[in-house]
Copies of this chain bind each other. A is one copy, B any other.
Amino acid sequence: MAKKTGLTGKQDIFLKEIYKFISENNYPPSVRELASISGFSSPKGAADHLNTLIKKGYLQRNPSPRSLKLTEKAFWYLKMPNPFNDSSILYLPLLGRIAAGKPIFAEENIDEYVPISKQVMGRAEGQFLLRVNGDSMSGDHIMDGDMLIVKIQDTAENGDIVAALLNDEAVVKRFYKRSDGTVELVSSNPLYEPIVLKDGVRIQGKVIAVYRHIF
């Protein structure tokens, strides 16, 4: 199942060992230390993994020994904060247009990784940014072009503002579950009709914050 830039199971474990080492020591491991940690009897195994992870964009390195650096891609993949950054900062992927037929976190959908303060967004992990398209939520003062911080979850409470996938498009609506089992996704702009879904809905997360740039 190893795609172009995805990780195999062993590579995944190896990357996690690197993260663990840096978190514990505040400096990067040597090739031999990684081999030893991973139970390899030769440095070559670790060196091969390192080169693969560098090629796939999860690591960076200088010619100097112990100059390994995890990329933001790696931190997002690991769903962990960057231990070298201040712990009050998280990097969140910014999703632009959702490509039809692709998983929502496919690389094609990620515009960039944006550093966001935990202080202003709450402490929880597992979040992403979504750019608002259209004015259907203007009643909640969420406007076209705003960036939303979305906390990843697949359920919601009645009245929550959620990001959901509808025909391969990410939509932002208020979520209501009716007593007959149907789900209503309601816009806060009265110009838009509520969307009624009998088969449930693929909720991506709950909107917990709004960010808007004024030009």
Oligomeric state, in copies: 2
A105 at the interface (CB under 8 A from B): no
Set B33, B66, B119, B207: member contacting A114, Cβ < 8 A: B119
Closest B-chain residue to A140, C-beta based? B214
Q: Which of A22-30, A42-50, A178-186, A190-198 contacts B (4 or more CB under 8 A)?
A: A22-30
A155 at the interface (CB under 8 A from B): no
Q: Is the CB–CB distance between B86 and A115 below 8 Å?
A: yes
Q: Is the CB–CB distance between A27 and B86 below 8 Å?
A: no
A68 at the interface (CB under 8 A from B): yes
In the complex, how many residues of chain A place their beta carbon closer than 8 angstroms to a beta carbon of chain B? 44
Set B67, B82, B83, B209: member contacting A211, Cβ < 8 A: B209
Give bound CA distance, A199 to B171, whole Å.
49
Residues of B contacting A83 with CB < 8 Å?
84
Known A82-B86, A141-B143; judge A27-B69 contact (CB<8 A).
Answer: yes
Give bound CA distance, A81 to B86, whole Å.
9
A121 at the interface (CB under 8 A from B): yes
Q: Is the CB–CB distance between A64 and B30 below 8 Å?
A: yes
Interface residues in A76-121 (C-beta closer than 8 Å to B): 81-86, 88-89, 112, 114-117, 119-121
A122 at the interface (CB under 8 A from B): yes
Give, as a whole number of angstroms, the nearest-CB distance from A124 to chain B.
Answer: 12
Known A81-B86, A211-B209; judge A66-B69 contact (CB<8 A).
Answer: no
Closest B-chain residue to A33, C-beta based? B64
Binding site for B on A (CB under 8 A): 25-28, 30, 33, 62, 64-69, 81-86, 88-89, 112, 114-117, 119-122, 138, 141-143, 147, 161, 207-214
**17 A–B contacts, CB within 8 A, in A order:** A30-B64, A85-B89, A89-B115, A115-B119, A116-B117, A116-B120, A120-B147, A121-B213, A122-B213, A138-B141, A141-B142, A141-B143, A141-B212, A209-B211, A209-B213, A210-B210, A210-B214
